[in-house]
Each structure stands twice: as structure tokens, then as C-alpha cells.
């Protein structure tokens, strides 16, 4: 018996950091949604009582460094499952890109194994479990559009934003999320209009969404990675309606409503950025 789950990438429409908590995590507010760039994960029941993870991508570990492995182990131990599983990850989302690829794999693993092992756990319960694996996993369990608070584990679902094309461009150099947060100067932050973004989404106001894109982590990542700034400028020059870095970076995304403009931006970026994608916004649970 086997089951397939899609694990879509996420983008941040807003990312705000409010303060550093006593547990050393940062209190955040983020509006996130999903795009049609996804890993494909297959789950096979095996006779041996163990977890195996495999991927052809050499940057994907097959042990406890892998969030999907951690999610499977947590679910297995918490619900005392005596069955084994072989997890095959077909990686399409760039690694260490600010697109929550690992978190989405973990979330897809929780959903997939819930079905494979017939555990009948609710989505809300899976999201609570996901918070033990990683900060973005709870959002990825819902696989939709949401306002995330706390350290990312408190999820308030939202309608899908207005449909549009999304151009994603990832520079070659990766970014350490931990080092970005450590370097963030909390006193100098200009905060996003998070409430305004939520209202724009609820009104299906495309221009309102574009006007409110903001990510406070750009203040750290951009000065250290000039290529990210160059990609942003190139996207705007080529006709993007709005441009932002996702997560801690380094991936940049641009929004447009016309496919022809999306193609033009894609072609303009191919010269100096290897990983470029044109995808649709998803925004709804898949």
C-alpha cells in the first residue's frame, strides 16, 4: 500500500518580527500563502518497524536532519505505531531558499502518514504536532493562506489571495535563517501593515496586496547578499507589479496578472540566475 502527497512551497506576503521571547524564539506575525511549485512525496508501508527516507537530491539528508523523517518519528512515537514506512521525496522546491520546502515535506508527511497508518487525527491536531518539528510546519499542514503568529505555530486561516502569476528566482548562495534572525536589529524595524494585508486578501484586492508586501528580514539579508537586491530590481524593471524576498531568503518573488509579463520577467532573469520558476498562486488547500 502506498500514498502520495503534494508539498507546495510557501511565500511570505508579509513577515514581521515583534520581539525576542524569553524562550529565545522571536515573536512573529506573517501572512503566508502557497504556490504551485511542490515536492511530491510517496509513502510505502514496509514490514520492518522503521522509518526510511530517500531522495535523489544530494542536498536532502535521509536521517534526523530531514524534517520529514522527524515528523514521521514524532507521529510514530506519539501514537505508538508499530508499522514501518519508506518515504520517497521527489524534490522540486529549491533547498535553503526561504520557501519552506523542508517544512512542507514534514507537513505532507504528517498528512500522508495519518492516512497511511489510519490514525484519524484532525488537521488541527496535526498542526499542533507540526509545531514540534519546525516553525513553518503548522502553516504547511493547512496548505492554504493564513496569518501565522507566535513563533509561527498559531494559525488563522484566510481566503486565497487574488489569482496571479508568481515568478520565483533563487540566487546560488544560500542563507542561514538562524544567522539572519540573530543579526536583526529589532529597534530599527519598519513594521508591515499586517492588518491591511489581511483585509486586502479578504476583499480580493490585488493592488492592495501588492502595495502591502513587506518582509523585515530584508534589512539583514539584502546588505549581505547584493544579488538578492539585483534580482528585485530586475523584476521591477521587467514589469513585476510587486516584488519581495520570501522568508529569510534568498528567494525573491514577483507578482503579475498577465502570463505574457511573467514570461518576460522569467526571460530577463535567466541571464544571471539559474533557478527561476513561473508558477500560479495556489492559496487554497490542495
Known binder of ligand: residue 97?
yes
Known binder of ligand: residue 96?
yes
Known binder of ligand: residue 74?
no
Torsion of CA 155, 159, 165, 169, to 10 degrees: -10
Catalytic (active-site) positions = 10, 136
End-to-end CA distance of the chain: give it in Å, rounded.
22
From its phi and psi, is residue 58 left (phi > 0), alpha (psi between -120 and 50) or beta?
alpha
Kindly write down the DSSP assignment for every residue of the chain, as one continuous string. Answer: -EEEEEEEEEEEEEEEEEEE-TTSPEEEEEEEEEEEEEEEEEEEEESSSSEEEEES-TTS-SSTTSHHHHHHHHHHHHTT---EEEEEEE--SPTTSSS-HHHHHHHHHHHHHHHHTT----HHHHHHHHHHH-TTHHHHHHTSEEEEEETTTEEEEEPPPPP-EEEEEE-SS---HHHHHHH--GGG-----HHHHHHHHHTT-HHHHHHT-EETTHHHHHHH-HHHHHHHHHHHHTT-SEEEE-TTSS-EEEEES-HHHHHHHHHHHTTT-SEEEEEEB--S--
Known binder of ligand: residue 102?
yes
Known binder of ligand: residue 100?
yes
Query: How crowded is the C-beta side of 30, counted as CA atoms within 13 Å?
Result: 29
Known binder of ligand: residue 146?
no
Tracing cell 500500500 back to the chain, one arrives at: 1
Known binder of ligand: residue 184?
no
Known binder of ligand: residue 98?
yes
Known binder of ligand: residue 260?
no
Which residues sit in the known binding site for ATP? 94-104
Annotated binding site: 94-104
Amino acid at each position: 500500500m502506498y500514498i502520495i502527497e503534494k508539498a507546495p512551497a510557501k511565500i511570505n506576503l508579509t513577515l514581521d518580527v515583534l520581539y525576542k521571547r524569553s524562550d529565545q524564539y522571536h515573536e512573529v506575525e506573517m501572512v503566508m500563502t502557497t504556490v504551485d511549485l511542490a515536492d511530491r512525496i510517496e509513502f510505502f508501508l514496509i514490514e520492518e518497524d522503521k522509518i526510511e527516507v530517500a531522495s535523489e537530491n544530494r542536498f536532502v539528508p535521509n536521517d534526523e536532519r530531514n524534517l520529514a523523517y522527524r515528523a514521521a518519528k514524532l507521529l510514530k512515537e506519539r501514537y505508538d505505531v508499530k508499522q514501518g514506512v519508506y518515504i520517497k521525496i521527489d524534490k522540486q522546491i529549491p533547498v535553503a531558499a526561504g520557501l519552506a520546502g523542508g517544512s512542507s515535506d514534514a507537513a505532507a508527511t504528517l498528512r500522508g502518514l495519518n492516512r497511511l497508518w489510519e490514525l484519524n487525527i484532525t488537521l488541527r491536531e496535526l498542526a499542533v504536532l507540526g509545531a514540534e518539528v519546525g516553525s513553518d510546519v503548522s502553516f504547511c499542514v493547512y496548505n492554504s493562506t493564513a496569518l501565522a503568529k507566535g513563533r509561527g505555530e498559531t494559525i488563522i486561516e484566510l481566503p486565497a489571495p487574488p489569482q496571479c502569476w508568481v515568478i520565483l528566482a533563487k540566487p546560488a548562495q544560500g542563507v542561514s535563517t538562524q544567522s539572519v534572525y540573530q543579526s536583526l536589529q529589532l529597534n530599527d524595524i519598519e513594521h508591515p501593515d499586517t492588518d491591511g494585508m489581511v483585509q486586502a486578501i479578504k476583499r480580493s484586492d490585488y493592488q492592495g496586496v501588492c502595495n502591502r508586501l513587506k518582509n523585515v528580514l530584508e534589512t539583514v539579508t539584502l546588505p549581505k547578499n547584493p544579488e538578492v537586491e539585483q534580482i528585485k530590481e530586475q523584476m521591477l524593471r521587467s514589469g513585476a507589479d510587486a516584488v519581495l524576498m520570501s522568508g529569510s531568503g534568498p528567494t525573491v518573488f514577483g507578482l503579475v496578472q498577465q502570463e505574457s509579463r511573467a514570461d518576460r520577467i522569467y526571460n530577463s532573469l535567466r541571464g544571471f540566475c539559474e533557478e527561476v520558476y513561473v508558477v500560479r498562486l495556489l492559496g487554497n488547500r490542495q
